[in-house]
Structure 1
């Protein structure tokens, strides 16, 4: 089995890579800090995918993402919406995921079960939004969910055993959530990675195009 982890130097990505390697999986890890993979720069995505031509991955997981970009904190109200901050959120958390699927998706195995999963966030659920705020991050994650849903339809035509899903990793004790985690129970990156891999293992092709949390429950769009 071969797996590709995007964002492999981050908390969840590193933990997921370590767990897969412990299971005897051949893991390829890419990240911005170690390899120069930047999902907001299309040329770096295309270049890294080209270097992996010939691989046939059973699992591709995108663990990249950011809540705070360039120091811009999540909005508390619509009055705080900023066009540049929103564009930055979409560039990484939505457009970047589309680029990852465009360039790395073709490396998924086509003759057997193959999973492409991307870390979304529960706050990206439109149906589960009862609090408001965090406009740009919510919207970018909701866009990511639509991208994954749309891609799943196309990939079903390429391989009926393909599975493309969005995953909510929980409130994980990483730098991304440190400032905002005090009001929510947190889990460690290793706990999240273990739980997410268990969810992935249970998925079937009928689940492609859906959204799941780390506990194995479906999240409403």
Structure 2
């Protein structure tokens, strides 16, 4: 299967949130592909990550590690400049950015637990950072086939919300979905071969889910390698005709 639909030749890919969990697994799997020429691994500590360093030892210049705090727009601007100096076009960008219970965010069970700082922290990472990443990388996505995918979450679906709770996380992921849907319309005008996707990887054994894994049904806690494989399959199967859509790891469409 092609990395993205209608791709001919070798691809350049960028993973934001690359130093751990699903992001790291995506880097590993992309570097194993013969149709991927280069992977830009982006995270706050990409150049000091032992895991990314090990990948760099195995794959040499095919892996480019770049430090960037995606919540800092000036840092994103510098990132885009650094990538553009080394790459004329990005065929695939995946944002794995997301927080639930760190950097000031927390999963509130009720209205009484809401506070402004937690809401702001959730929105800054879960909604604002991915769309600002897209904004600054847009010049590298304006020709040839290109896919921008961001990890959303089923709990960000308004139509699927039957349990309540997790106010900040739910709302920030719902905001991300709307931002991606809106961006897909603009990007389609600029590049008809472009695709924007919101993807739910399922509950994955990462730092984000660790405090809540006791409530996960048997067989529904995925390892990062499995989640990454599912995401790449989704990306390979969904092109411009499905731009602006929201999909789960198992190929099922998720209601907005």
Q: Whole-Å Cα distance in 2 between the matches of residues 20 and 55 of structure 1?
A: 19
Secondary structure of the structure 2 residue equivalent to 1:52 = helix
Aligned residues: 220
The answer as to whether partners of 1:105 and 1:116 remain within 8 angstroms in 2 is no
Tell me what 1:156 maps to. 188
Q: Which has the larger radius of gyration?
A: 2
Alignment partner, residue 18 of structure 2 = 8
Counterpart position of 2:238: 203
Contact preservation (8 Å) 1:69, 1:85: no
Counterpart in the other structure of 1:32: 44
| 2: CA distance, partners of 1:41 / 1:217 | 34
Deviations 1:130-159 (A, max 9, x none): 000000110000000000000000000111
SS of residue matched to 1:132? coil
**Cα distance change, pair 77–121 in 1 and its aligned pair in 2 (3 A):** same
Q: Which residue of 1 aligns with 2:76?
A: 45
C-alpha contact (below 8 Å) 2:205/2:221 kept by paired residues? yes
The question of whether the paired residues in 1 share the 8 Å contact of 2:14 and 2:40 is answered with yes
In 2, Cα distance between equivalents of 1:73 and 1:209: 28
Show structure 1 runs of 5+ residues with no match.
Answer: none
Give the aligned partner of residue 63 of structure 2: none
Q: TM-score, normalised by structure 1?
A: 0.96
Aligned equivalents of 1:161 and 1:33: distance in 2? 33
Shift of residue 10, structure 1, vs aligned partner? 1.9
Instruction: Indicate the residue corresponding to 1:190 in structure 2.
Output: 225
The residue aligned with 1:172 is 204
Structure 1 pair 154/50, CA: closer, same or farther in 2 (3 Å)? same
Cα distance change, pair 141–57 in 1 and its aligned pair in 2 (3 A): same
Q: Structure 2-normalised TM-score?
A: 0.83
CA distance in 2, matches of 1:157, 1:109: 10
Q: Give 1:70 deviation, angstroms.
A: 3.0
Give, in angstroms, the shift of residue 206 of structure 1. 1.2
1:139 and 1:10 mapped to 2: Cα distance? 24
Return 14-23 or 102-111, whichever deviates more.
102-111
Does the Cα contact within 8 Å between 2:247 and 2:254 map onto a contact in 1?
Answer: yes
